[in-house]
Amino acid sequence: MADPMKIRAAMAGNQVEVKILMSHEMETGQRKDSKGATIPAHFIQNVTATHNGKTVLSAEWGPAVAKNPFLSFKFSGGKPGDKVVVTWVDNKGDKRTDEATIS
Amino acid sequence: MNPNRRTALKGAAMIGALAMGLLKSAGAWAQSWNKAAFETKSLNDTVKAMGGASAAESKDIVITSPDIAENGAVVPFSIASKIPKTESISLLVEKNPNALAASFGIPDGTEAGITTRVKMGQTSNVIALVKADGKFYYTSKEVKVTLGGCGG
């Protein structure tokens, strides 16, 4: 299981600004190890953020997203105390869900 | 789940994973991932793979990024779209092995703007592709990459 995500959700005016830092290798499948063997691709493919069960952002990623991905976006309709839940799934089927409370 | 999107290859991979007992939750992993679009190399091919005919250049999309990235492994990008009914925002790096880096679905109520960080293999045009009200729009920007870190 991968390390937890760091998620911050804070009111910015009447919108909620969400900042997510994930912990993931994001291996491209293009690199070779010291023996010249290709390191298999290992990267997050899907990211979903929900608020009160409603999807506020969905993402499909390729291996070009940087290691330990960072993601930030804003949505309206949230209020302090609500939870934002973020889930990612990688190309090996590994997944991780974390949540943050809007401040 | 959209069966049309899944290729035979992905299906085979899933069966393999099932056989190995790795797949604990088939439903979650079976989320759509547009494999065809991620394997294309050019803007036009990507737009086609995403279901559009062609994209029109638009000044209502803004890419915010450094003009010169010293480290191609972590290049920050912000993309904002002012086009009404923006449904998705995608980021493409023309000279990467596969152009499409990331694609974001923007539901109602979410601001049409995202910030993330991507890898760039070399100096390249970066393209922001926006789907709004069923049509595709794009804008592009050149980002120089100096892997040596001398600041160019």
Instruction: Please provide the DSSP assignment of B20-86 as one string.
Output: TT--S-HHHHTS---HHHHH--SHHHHHHHTT-S-EEE-TTEEEE--SEES-TT-EEEEEEE-STTE
**Which of A32, A58, A86 is the best residue to mutate to test the B interface, defined by the most B CB atoms within 10 Å of its own CB?**
A58
**What pLDDT is attached to residue B4?**
57
**What pLDDT is attached to residue A45?**
95
pLDDT over 60 (residue B22): no
Q: Name the percent of chain B lying above pLDDT 90.
A: 53
**In contact, B119 and B96? CB cutoff 8 Å:** yes
Kindly determine whether residue A65 and residue B119, on different chains, have CB atoms separated by under 8 Å. yes
Three-state DSSP state, B17:
helix
ipTM: 0.94
**What pLDDT is attached to residue B108?**
94
Q: Which domains does chain A have, with CATH numbers?
A: 6-27+41-101 (2.60.40.10)
pLDDT along chain A (103 residues), means of 10: 89 96 93 90 96 95 95 96 96 94 95
β-pairing, B135-145 with B68-69?
parallel
Phi, psi of A4 (to 5 degrees): -65, 155
Chain A residues near residue B117 by CB distance under 8 angstroms: 65-66, 69-70
B57 to chain A, closest Cα gap in Å: 23
As given in the structure block, the two tokens for residue B131 are 């789907």
For range B65-78, the mean pLDDT: 93
**In contact, A79 and A68? CB cutoff 8 Å:** no
B61 to chain A, closest Cα gap in Å: 16
Query: Whose CA is closest to B134, among B93, B82, B84, B91?
Result: B84
Q: Which of A56, A63, A66 sits opposite B110 (nearest CB)?
A: A56
Chain A interface includes B113 (CB < 8 A):
yes
**DSSP3 helix / strand / coil % (chain B, rounded to 5):** 20, 40, 40
Kindly determine whether residue A95 and residue B119, on different chains, have CB atoms separated by under 8 Å. no
For range B22-46, the mean pLDDT: 69
pLDDT over 90 (residue B18): no
**In contact, B45 and B121? CB cutoff 8 Å:** no
A7 to chain B, closest Cα gap in Å: 14
Which residues, in sequence order, are bridge partners of residue A42?
A: A27
Q: Confidence band (pLDDT; 50, 70, 90) for B19?
A: very low
The size of the A-B interface in CB pairs under 8 A is 114
**What pLDDT is attached to residue B17?**
47
Q: Which of B32, B101, B106 sits opposite A64 (nearest CB)?
A: B101
Cα B58 off chain centre by: 17
- Please, is A66 exposed, middle or buried when counting C-beta atoms within 10 Å of its C-beta (0-12, 13-18, 19+)? buried
Kindly determine whether residue B33 and residue A54, on different chains, have CB atoms separated by under 8 Å. no
Query: Whose CA is closest to A25, among A97, A98, A92, A75?
Result: A92
Strands (E), chain A: 6-12, 15-21, 44-51, 54-61, 70-76, 83-90, 95-101
Which residues, in sequence order, are bridge partners of residue B62?
A: B80
Chain A interface includes B98 (CB < 8 A):
yes
Query: Whose CA is closest to A89, among B80, B9, B30, B133?
Result: B30
Query: Whose CA is closest to A63, among A89, A33, A101, A25?
Result: A25
